[in-house]
Amino acid sequence: MKKIIKLLGVLIFLTGFVIFLLALREQRFTLMPHVVESVIVNPYHKQLIKSVDYEMLEEQYESSEAFVNRLERLFRDVKIVEGLNTKNTSSEIQKNGAPLSEYDINQYIFELTLASQLGGIIVESSWWLRMTFGLMMLGALLYIFTGLYESPESNNAGVWQQSFQNRGLFGLLTGSFLIGFYIVLYWFPLYITSWIHLADPLSRSLNGNNAGQWFLYGAMYTLAILVMGTRMLIRYRHDRYQIFRTISVMFFQTAFAFIIPEILSSLNKPRFDFKDMWPLKYDFFFEWNLNTLLQSGHIGVFMLVWGIVLFLVAVPVFTWFFGKRWYCSWVCGCGALAETAGDPFRQLSNKKLFAWRIERYLIYAILIFVIVMTLLVLYTFFTGSANIGPLNSYDVRKWYGFLIGSVFAGVIGVGFYPLMGNRVWCRFGCPLAAYMGIIQKFRSRFRITVNGDQCISCGNCSAYCEMGIDVRAYAQNGQDVVRASCVGCGICVAVCPRGVLSLENASEDISQRGNIKRTIKLNLDDI
């Protein structure tokens, strides 16, 4: 029975997934005048585009490629017209702030394409939503609920024996899909307008507008956390630490990261995620963000102060009390995905010493990178000058955004779940984790206590530590674990068959945490 339901779940999920892929074939585009009106609001740009031929309007295109090609041609014409007009309109440009830049063009092309799509996906969007995300969620939940009929203590039986979880074929396929998805999402969203439209009904119900690519991403992210969070709740139903922590990340993702920003934006306030903080949110001090906040009245100023207090005050204080887990395993959005959707892959983290060596260099290098970048950005903000010596603050932030923000945190961070474990970003990349790690290592009440000499060196704790900490190396010496990288997920505690480990806080012995090795039996007094 259990097997049948599981199989049914997989089949339903795959059906939804196939329809999801097929949705990409829904490609019909026609540029309507009212779309141009609504997308291009800058009066100067509007005037420019009106000066060229409108022949493509209301013509039907059968692929996004053709449509985009045509749009590109349109904008080339616009640029030519702009070039011709430059002399006459220089006063006009000044009035409107900016000429039509490459960036504007790309943005317009994307938004025009998105808004020009026609066909079933637009007309019957809620049907499509149900047949894709609906089916996938239904299938996943069916599968997940069979966990209720399995003993939670044998959670990890067979983990290394199935290809989804041991870097086998299904693992590789899943990884490839995720990597591809991130690349398309970040750099080629033009080709997934159909997917973006899937989220329209949801978006409209939250903020009245159609979805954009980031809304789609946010929605998928949140759904993944909710569905796979349910899996965690079932899997660890015997463990109240896991239950509370999972509910917490599900809540913070849904309310703080997803719903509240949408509500704020529908109220014409800045979209603000009250739990996201610098330096993880690396663009917090970018001009556009500072300006948006500063121009949004009291609430904007409040957000600005809140964001600064979070990392300047809350981080040291909470990390002192509880270790970095208060954020990484209870609040953070990256952590939320890692601990829910990423849970099947936690054993894939590398436990070798050389991985730890790389980790140490990389994560602190990125912390320095983000600090330098932010200082440059602030310099530009206050002085208005972009160049500081050989560095151009716009270039530096562009590179950070591309390399760290997109490639590392997204493509590698999530795409590599099935290949390198679920905390690649948190372990090797996250500058906030690096910052909290320093506090955790040197001044925190937190540690993982080891229960006397009870460890039998079986290796379950190390194997399931997503941060690649060799917990066993400590446990078998009877030495409490004090490590900068530990996110306090508590899984080592849950999987240890001898109940050797516990996450604990105490102020009594902060500077001597982890000093004692209990298994050393010889007392020097005896000798």
Partner 1 sequence: MHIAIIGNGISGTTAARFLRKYSHHRITMISAESEYFFARTGMMYAFMGHLRFSDLLPYENWFWKKNKIDLVFDHVTRIDVLEKRLYLKRSPEISYDKLIIATGSKVNMPDIPGTSLHGVTGFYHKGDLENITNLHRSISNAVIIGGGLIGIELAEMFHSKNIPVTMVVRDAGYWRNTLPYEESEMVGSLIKKQGIKLLLNTEVREIQGNAEGKVKSVVLTDDNVIECDFVGIATGVLPQISLLNDTGIATEKGILVDEYLQTNNPDIFAAGDCAQIRSPDSGRKSIEPVWYTGRIMGELVANNICRNPVKYKPGIWFNSAKFFGMEYQVYGFVPNKKSTEYDNVFWQHPDTQKSVRIMYEQSTEKVVGFGLMGIRYRHEVCEKWILEETQLSTVLADLSLANFDPEFFRQYEPLVLEQYFQQTGKKILPAKAKNLNAVIKFLKNVKR
Residues within the interface to partner 1 (CB under 8 A): 151-154, 156-162, 238-241, 243-244, 352-353, 449, 451-454, 456-460, 462-463, 472-473, 476, 490, 493-495, 497-499, 502-509, 518-522, 526-527
Q: Which of residues 27-66 bind ligand SF4 (CB under 6 A)?
A: none
Q: Say if residues 320 and 445 touch (Cβ distance below 8 Å).
A: yes
Q: Which two tokens stand for residue 485?
A: 């990288």
As a dihedral over the C-alpha atoms of residue 318, residue 321, residue 325, residue 331, rounded to 10 degrees, the angle is -30
Q: How far is the CB of 421 from ligand SF4 (least distance, A)?
A: 11
Contact criterion met (CB below 8 Å) for 16 and 138: yes
Q: Name the binder of 492 from partner 1, ligand SF4, none, CB < 5-8 A by kind.
A: ligand SF4
CB of 146 to partner 1, least distance (A): 15
Contact flag: residue 465 with ligand SF4 (CB under 6 A): yes
Q: Identify residue 386 by its one-letter amino acid code.
A: A
CB 460, min distance to partner 1, A: 6
> Per-residue contact track with ligand SF4, 475 to 494, x per CB under 6 A?
x-----x----xxxxxxx--
Minimal distance, residue 248 CB to partner 1, in Å: 12
Which residue from 177, 459, 477, 505 is in contact with ligand SF4, where contact means CB under 6 A? 459
Of 51 and 457, the one with the shorter C-beta distance to ligand SF4 is 457
Judge whether 148 and 9 are in contact, CB under 8 Å: no
For residues 214 and 222, give the distance between their C-alpha atoms in angstroms, rounded to a whole number. 12
Residue 491's binding partner out of ligand SF4, partner 1, none, with CB under 5 to 8 Å set by partner kind: ligand SF4
Question: With binding defined as CB under 6 A, does residue 176 bind ligand SF4?
Answer: no
Residue 521: name its binding partner from partner 1, ligand SF4, none (Cβ under 5 to 8 Å by kind): partner 1
d(CA 137, CA 251): 18
CA distance 420 to 405: 19
Find the shortest distance in angstroms from Cβ 1 to partner 1.
14
Instruction: By CB under 6 A, tell whether 424 contacts ligand SF4.
Output: no
| Gap between the Cα atoms of 82 and 263, Å rounded | 39
Among 183, 375, 407, 458, binds ligand SF4 (CB under 6 A): 458
Q: Are 320 and 439 in contact (CB under 8 A)?
A: yes
Regarding 456 and contact with ligand SF4 (CB under 6 A), the answer is: yes
Binding mask 492-511 for ligand SF4 (x = CB under 6 A): x---x-x-xx----------
CB of 387: closest distance to partner 1 in angstroms? 48
Q: Is residue 455 within the footprint of ligand SF4 (CB under 6 A)? A: yes
Q: Using an 8 Å Cβ cutoff, are 210 and 197 in contact?
A: yes
User: Among 54, 193, 220, 36, which residue's Cα sits nearest to residue 112?
Assistant: 36
Nearer to ligand SF4, 78 or 334 (CB): 334
Q: Is residue 105 close enough to count as binding ligand SF4 by CB under 6 A?
A: no
Contact 493, 502 (CB under 8 A): yes
Angle at Cα 108 formed by Cα 103 and Cα 111, nearest 5°?
125
Considering the complex, state which of residue 279 and residue 488 has its C-beta at the smaller distance from ligand SF4.
488
Residues 6+ apart with CB under 8 A from 194: 23, 24, 25, 26, 27, 117, 121
Structure tokens that stand for 107 in this block: 């943005």
465 interface partner picked from ligand SF4, partner 1, none, CB below 5 to 8 A per type? ligand SF4
End-to-end CA distance of the chain: 65
Q: In this structure, are residues 285 and 396 in contact, taking their beta carbons and an 8 Å threshold?
A: no
Binding site residues, ligand SF4, CB under 6 A = 448, 455-461, 465-467, 469, 471-472, 475, 481, 486-492, 496, 498, 500-501
